Amino acid sequence: MCVGVPAKVIEKYEYTALVDVMGSQMEVGTLFVPEVELEQFVVIHAGQAMTIIDEQFAKESIEEWRKLLDETNP
């Protein structure tokens, strides 16, 4: 099973982007979504932005990730 994490694009370069993942920043590849723009949300997996998602879905997903993390790190 593969798990993708929602992230917000905060800087964009030619083939990569700097994204924010629940407060942590990392650089990811954008070969699968070259049309991504600043402030858009993407799902990342294995260091690659896989698809662009809408903001509402991203925020709902982030909330579920936070709940899961809170439960595993009391």
Beta strands in the chain (DSSP E): 5-12, 16-21, 24-29, 41-45, 48-53
Residue 42's domain comprises 5-72
Single pTM value for the model: 0.85
CATH value at residue 54? 2.30.30.140
What is the Cα 71 distance to its own chain's centre?
Answer: 21
pLDDT digits (tens, 9 = 90+) for 19-67: 999 899 999 999 999 999 999 999 999 999 999 999 999 999 888 888 8
Number of domains in the chain: 1
